[in-house]
Structures are given as C-alpha cells and as structure tokens.
Amino acid sequence: MTPDSASLAAQLNLKRGMRVWVSGVPQEIAAAIDATVPGLSIEAAPSAGLDAALVVVPSREALATALERLRGLLAPSSFVWIGWRQGALGLDSPQLGDLVGPGWLVDVEPLVLVPGWRATKLVPRRRERVGG
C-alpha cells in the first residue's frame, strides 16, 4: 500500500479493540492516523497485554530503550512499529533489522508513514511470545 491508497491506521494494521501505545509521534503523523477506527484504545504508557505500539525514535539509543521498555508487555500476536525521520538514524528499514539483531524481535515490513518519515514493523520471535 502507498500512503495515498489507505489510511495510515489501516496501513499500520490498527483495528477496533486494540490497545496501542503511541510514543514520540510527531503531530503530522498523529494527524494522519485515521481517527475513525472505533474502539481503538491509545495508551499513554506501555502496560501488559499491548496489542501494538508505534514508537518514533530520534536515535539508536532511544530505539534500544523503547524496545527494552516493551519487552514482556506485548500480547502474543502483537507488533511494534518503530518510526524515524528519514536520515535521522543513519540507516534504512533493512538496516534497522540488523540493528535489532537476533534478539527478541524480528523485522517484517517497512512503511512510509508520511513523506520524510519511515517505519519498520517488528514482531516477537516465536520463542518470545508470552502465552502464545
């Protein structure tokens, strides 16, 4: 999908009834997330049982901190979108997977959030899925 072909919420796989932690998201991206997803619960802080997270990070260090904060809090079928301003981390989506490494998450999908902003979808490895 391209940014013009579906709402950003749909591209991010955000659906009714999901609990989603959103952190560091610039206004231009927050405004692009379709507010018409009924029953979507945007959480102020991560907590156990999260279905998804959209975390925009300004640095590699912030990436590591955000991922560690989420560890153990995600529902079995959950996912994390890590976003960044293009060029800010000095890497692209395939390289983000290398940065995450062979740890508890695996990268599965790149996305253009809005022009100038990129994201990569990460999911827990099977061995890391609590209750799954």
pLDDT at 59: 83
Residue by residue, pLDDT tens for the chain (132 residues) are 444 447 899 999 999 999 999 999 998 788 777 666 778 888 989 999 999 999 999 887 888 888 889 988 999 899 999 999 888 777 655 566 666 656 778 888 889 998 999 999 999 887 655 555
pLDDT at 2: 43
Hey, what are 57's tokens? 């990070």
Q: What is the pTM of this model?
A: 0.83
Structural domains in the chain, CATH included, are: 8-125 (3.40.50.150)
Phi/psi at 45 (nearest 5 deg)? -145, 155
**Spatial distance between the Cα atoms of 52 and 48, rounded to a whole number of angstroms:** 11
**Under 8 Å between Cβ of 45 and 21:** yes
Strands, E assignment, the chain: 19-23, 41-43, 50-56, 74-85, 105-114, 117-124
pLDDT at 128: 56
pLDDT at 94: 55
**Under 8 Å between Cβ of 114 and 122:** no
Hey, what are 30's tokens? 């927050």
